[in-house]
Structure 1
Amino acid sequence: MKQRVVTGVLGGAGFLALLVWGGYAFAGLLLLLAVIGMYEYNRMNRMNPNGLSAGVALIGTILLVFPWSVWTNWSPNWEAIAWVTLFALFAITVLSKNKVQLDQVALLFAGMVYIGAGFQYMLLTRLSEHGLFWTLLICVCIALTDSGAYFTGRLMGRTKLWPSISPNKTVEGSIGGIVVSIVAACCFTLYAPELLSVGQAVRLGLVIAVVGQMGDLIQSAYKRVRGIKDTGSLLPGHGGVLDRFDSWLIVFPFIHLLGLLP
């Protein structure tokens, strides 16, 4: 527990510092996390992370997350990156005479989109107008959803939410996490009422909590299928990048695709 707390405090402080700094620093951090996350994903799926197909998927992930608007005046179309990467992966199945099989290609492409798009939308949020405000709001709501669900579940949890996937999660805990997330989002209206109305805050808090918990369950289900506890050991006591950012990788794209940010 002590190791978990120390890692959480130090890691959280470092992440917050780079988030506030923004620009090159935050973009570089997300790029690094995406590379590590893809490595964890390949290892979790028992694929050689140094193989040609894994390398192609990694390049596609990097191109998706790369902060083009920060470091260049040119920005490629992300659909083109995804399609060219998919074509290259398909070509490898042919050139390898099916030593690299179609199910491997599907897993690699899914990982590229999951990790690449997730970190890409985190970066887009931070680089947007009032980006620090919106990024902090989403991050705080995600973190407090987890805490609210944990403590509510400990105090009042009776009904198992999804025992075959995550035996410790309860319906009561899930509802508690949603309520805490909505309250947290509404608190941001006190700081900047001109940016966020109460109605917007309620919608954001609700969506972040529900989608964030689903992201957590998705990763839990995947790890259970693969028979592993953590995706990595980068953060002692917390696991790997995919363990810590499972909700984030789902929430940030969802918020943008639903048009919930101005």
Structure 2
Amino acid sequence: MTQQDAAAAVAAQPAAVEASDEAAPAPKKKGGLAKRVVFGVILGLSGAAVIIVGGWLYCFVACLAAYQLSQEFIGLVGAKGISKGMRPPPPLVNNAISLLCVALNAWVFITNGRAASAMAVATFMCLCLQLLAVRKPRFAQLASSVFGLFYCGYLPSFWIKLRLLAVPAVNSAAVAATVPPLLGGPTHLTVGLIAAFVAVSCIIAADTGAYFCGKSFGRTQLTAVSPKKTVEGAVGGLLSSIVVALGLYKFAGWPDNSLNAAALGTIVFFASLFGDLIESVIKRDAGLKDASNLIPGHGGLLDRLDSYLFTGACVYFFIKFCLGNFGI
């Protein structure tokens, strides 16, 4: 090797090092999973306590959630990816949407579950305000406002309607007598209390089963809407939801038979899965990974509750209109 060749080789070494450094993947943040688990447990325990207490505390938390959901939805609609093709509603309309979402949930609680006419009136008010606040409103603006009201206000109210199902569950009288009232909320074992617990437990089981089965066995993509979801993960989530529903049926004696319990677990799985996919569509168009950074390790409240939004309505419908005598 000549002296010139040696000098060229030495000069090329820093460039090679720099190129290898650029090609190396960025180090992953440590503690991400642990943070997600810790905050997930905190949210789960807090949610369980709120469900048990019920009453005004349950209503207050539902209203608070509806407000935050609406704020995050408004942020998604106003993101560059969506606003590029549609001018978002003005702040006056957005504030009205948030207030109406809260009012819908409070109304459902106060009226013991009546929501249809209130939703119609809230929608009419929202559209009228849009016509007054915008000189030439577009249909896309009207549609996004109505969907926000439905998605962040009306759907969460079904969890209130579900919890308000005050029919005493089978074999609960003896147990209910030992449970003291907490903060004025109903704590007796009603169909609403048990159904809310079963639905939430099945959602958690479905998410957990889908995650671990997909991570371990996932090979076949489920849908292009969410590329990380796999058929194998979906099957694991479905089986996990059914198993938890059957286990809680054996423990609580509700619903009245194992077939209905399995059907409930199946309904919860599909409602939670498609609820997740629907939010994925919104975030994809918005060009955002998370709705917000409210919850460390989980993103926004909408990211955490997207699986719950349609599930409450589906479970309520199944219990109210498909299960004879509320499944007792």
Q: Is the TM value for this pair above 0.5?
A: yes
Distance in 1 (CA, whole Å) between partners of 2:119 and 2:253 is 38
1-structure distance, mates of 2:131, 2:155: 30
1:237 is displaced (CA, Å) by: 0.8
Which 5+ residue runs of structure 1 have no aligned equivalent? Answer: none
Give the gaps of 5 or more residues in structure 2: 1-31, 79-86, 167-189
C-alpha displacement of 1:260? 4.5
Of residues 115, 135, 147, the one that matches 1:110 is: 147
**Does 2:236 align with 1:196?**
no
What is the deviation of 1:54?
1.4
Deviates more, 1:91-100 or 1:167-176: 91-100
Q: 1:231 aligns with which of 273, 288, 291?
A: 291
Greater C-alpha radius of gyration? 2
Matches of residues 1-262 of structure 1 in structure 2 within 5 Å?
1=32, 2-46=34-78, 51-66=91-106, 68-69=108-109, 72=110, 74=111, 78-96=115-133, 98-129=135-166, 130=190, 131-162=192-223, 164-193=224-253, 195-258=255-318, 259-260=321-322, 262=326
Q: Structure 1 residues 67 and 15 mapped into 2: Cα distance closer, same or farther (>3 Å)?
A: farther
Question: For the structure 1 residues 124 and 83, does the alpha-carbon distance in structure 2 shift closer, same or farther, using more than 3 Å as the test?
Answer: closer
CA shift, 1:20, in A, is 1.4
CA offsets per residue over residues 73-118 of structure 1, 9 Å max, x none? Answer: x569533322223322332343235354332221111111112222
- Give, as a single letter, the amino acid of the residue that structure 1 aligns with 2:265: G
Task: Report the TM-score when normalising by structure 2.
Answer: 0.73
- Residues 13-38 of structure 1: CA distance to partner in whole angstroms, max 9, x if unpaired? 22221221111111111110000000
Percent identity of equivalent pairs? 31
TM-score, with length taken from structure 1: 0.90
Q: How far is the alpha carbon of 1:170 from its aligned partner?
A: 0.5
Contact 1:48 1:54 in 2 (8 A): no
Task: From the superposition, tell whether residues 76 and 159 of structure 1 become closer, same or farther in structure 2 (CA, over 3 Å).
Answer: closer
> SS at the partner of 2:227?
strand
Give the deviation of 1:160 after TM superposition.
Answer: 0.7
Report the Cα offset of residue 139 of structure 1: 0.3
Amino acid at match of 2:302: L
Q: Is the 8 A contact 1:186 1:202 kept in 2?
A: yes
